[in-house]
Amino acid sequence: MTELLALTLALPLLAGALFIVATASTRAALFGFFAFGLFLALAWVALDAVDVALTEAAIGGGATGLLLLRLNGRMRHPVSLGEPAGPRLKIAAGLLAALVTLALGALLLALPEPAPSLAAATVEPLPALGIGNPVTAVLIAYRALDTLLEIVVLLIAVVGLRALGTDRGWGGRPVPWPEGEPSPALVFLARLLIPAGLVFAVYLFWVGADAPGGKFQASTLVAALWLLAIMAGLAPAPCSGGRWTGRALAIGPLAFIVAGTIGIAAAGSFLAWPEPVAKPMIIAVELALAVSIVVALVLLVAGPPERETGR
């Protein structure tokens, strides 16, 4: 039964990847990427990694696909990095790809049995943190430095994006999304989805402590809803030079660093959570992080500021 399920998910993944690489139309490849992302998210569910599935569906497929689709629409001509590949290069690339696949596959089949695992070590200190979901605990407690640096990477990407904008648009809003009036159906959909989506985002944020979900998945959902509102003309895009945008971007990493420093004084090391107040501190830091992530994601998908004034 599980083999059948795995097969029904693995085949569309392979077919989707082949389609994305082989199709002549870039637009078709982009829509293929959306479908591929959804099947990949289902594969993560089949691997019992629901937290990863939520992130993959939201960021890996959704946000990346949207970003590239928007890029494709905005590009005046395709940027070519070389000549179209000749038959020789194709054969060489095919051989190299086959070799890499075979080597990876052979390594996977030769893995040691039983597999080394940190699962037991992850579960043991959970009660002290007041968190029931081990993945959330790894993200916010055991490997908190990774999460801090992940937010910093998002910020660096936002800085890079601003630096790549035109001088004329410096500090302005991103290019307006649809050039014309948004369709009434889109506006209606946005009005319908946004309130329900916000409630679901709050639920995801809160339930992340004990079940699949968490600050990241919740903030992605809020960012997606904001983008939907921008597309429907119901909300403005964040003004990249605005005072609030900068503050919102900074609050997450700052709160994280402050909490980490408190950890030095109270628990003996940077980013250690002092036991009696671990849960409230974690929630406060996660809230601040969520604000920064939402603004960073919206800015990254919306693109660099290019006009003096938005709409």
Taking a C-beta distance cutoff of 8 angstroms, is the pair 215, 290 a contact? yes
Q: Which of 85, 196, 199, 202 binds another protein (CB under 8 A)?
A: 85
CA distance 300 to 311: 19
Cβ of residue 5: shortest distance to another protein, in angstroms? 7
Q: Residue count at the site for another protein (CB under 8 A)?
A: 98
CA distance 101 to 253: 39
Taking a C-beta distance cutoff of 8 angstroms, is the pair 201, 222 a contact? yes
Cβ of residue 261: shortest distance to another protein, in angstroms? 22
Which residues inside 38-67 make contact with another protein, applying CB under 8 A?
A: 40, 43-44, 46-49, 51-52, 55-56, 59-60, 63-64, 67
Evaluate the CA torsion angle 163, 296, 63, 184 in order and state its sign. negative
Contact region with another protein (CB under 8 A), list: 140-148, 202-210, 228-236, 272-280: 140-148
Report the half-sphere exposure of 121 (CA within 13 A, side-chain side).
Answer: 7
Token pair recorded at residue 288: 């601040």
CA distance 241 to 247: 11
Give the x-and-dash track for 87-106 against another protein (CB under 8 A).
--xx--xx-xxx-xxx-xx-
CA distance 250 to 149: 13
Cβ of residue 136: shortest distance to another protein, in angstroms? 8
The alpha carbon of 282 is separated from its chain's Cα centroid by a whole number of angstroms, namely: 21
Asked whether position 68 contacts another protein by CB under 8 A, the answer is yes
Cβ of residue 153: shortest distance to another protein, in angstroms? 5
Task: Assign 174 to helix, strand or coil.
Answer: strand
Q: Which of 142, 200, 206, 270 binds another protein (CB under 8 A)?
A: 142
Which residues inside 145-164 make contact with another protein, applying CB under 8 A?
A: 146-147, 150, 153-154, 156-157, 160-161, 164
Cβ of residue 170: shortest distance to another protein, in angstroms? 11
* Cβ atoms within 10 Å, residue 173: 23
CA distance 146 to 139: 7
Asked whether position 117 contacts another protein by CB under 8 A, the answer is yes
Cβ of residue 98: shortest distance to another protein, in angstroms? 6
Cβ of residue 24: shortest distance to another protein, in angstroms? 10
Q: Which of 28, 125, 128, 166 binds another protein (CB under 8 A)?
A: 166
CA distance 66 to 53: 18
Q: Which residue, 38 or 189, has its beta carbon nearer to another protein?
A: 38
Asked whether position 110 contacts another protein by CB under 8 A, the answer is no
Asked whether position 115 contacts another protein by CB under 8 A, the answer is yes
User: Comparing C-alpha atoms, which of 158, 144, 271, 276 is closest to residue 215?
Assistant: 144
